[in-house]
């Protein structure tokens, strides 16, 4: 008998199996907030390779959550995302050709949005 098991919990009504992983992640966004959460697509070599597999990258603000990103994608592109991964990119020190010598790039955050097979996004 394990204390921490991964067995599915059943609801009393309808006997539907519900797990923590598969809980619905939907949030209602305020008017016009979707374009603030998903500000721009992330165009890099790695991101463009991922689009062939149905994975799209977006620049997102630091306050954005996975649920808010998923609902923003659904509102803007009319596509239901399968899952969302968020990556925090740290600030970097870079050499500058000035008297100061060293500058700092800003920390950024991006989200990888996985779509179901057959779904695509059009940016232009």
Backbone phi and psi for residue 107, each to the nearest 5 degrees, phi listed first: -75, 140
Task: Quick: pLDDT tens for 22-47.
Answer: 455 556 777 778 889 998 999 999 99
pLDDT for residue 8: 58
Name all domains of the chain by residue range, CATH numbers in brackets: 33-115 (3.30.70.330)
> Which one has a higher pLDDT value, 111 or 18?
111
Burial 91-110 (b: 16+ CB within 10 A, else e): eeeeeeeeeeeeeeeeeeeb
Cα–Cα distance for residue pair 78/72, rounded to 1 Å: 9
Instruction: Quickly state the pLDDT bin for 9 (edges 50, 70, 90).
Output: low
Q: How confident is the model at residue 83 (pLDDT cuts 50, 70, 90)?
A: very high
Residue 123 has which token pair? Answer: 């940016």
Across 82-100, average pLDDT: 92
Phi then psi for residue 35, to 5 deg, are: -75, -20
């Amino acid at each position: 008998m394990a204390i921490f098991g991964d067995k599915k919990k059943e609801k009393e009504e309808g006997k539907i199996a519900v797990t923590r992983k598969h809980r619905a992640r939907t949030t209602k966004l305020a008017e016009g907030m979707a374009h603030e959460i998903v500000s721009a697509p992330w165009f890099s070599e790695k991101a463009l390779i991922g689009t062939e597999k149905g994975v799209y990258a977006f620049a997102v603000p630091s306050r954005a959550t996975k649920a808010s990103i998923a609902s923003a994608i659904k509102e803007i592109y009319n596509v239901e995302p399968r899952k969302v991964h968020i990556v925090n990119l740290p600030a970097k020190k870079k050499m500058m050709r000035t008297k100061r010598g060293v500058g700092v790039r800003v920390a950024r955050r991006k989200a990888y949005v996985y779509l179901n097979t057959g779904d695509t996004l059009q940016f232009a």
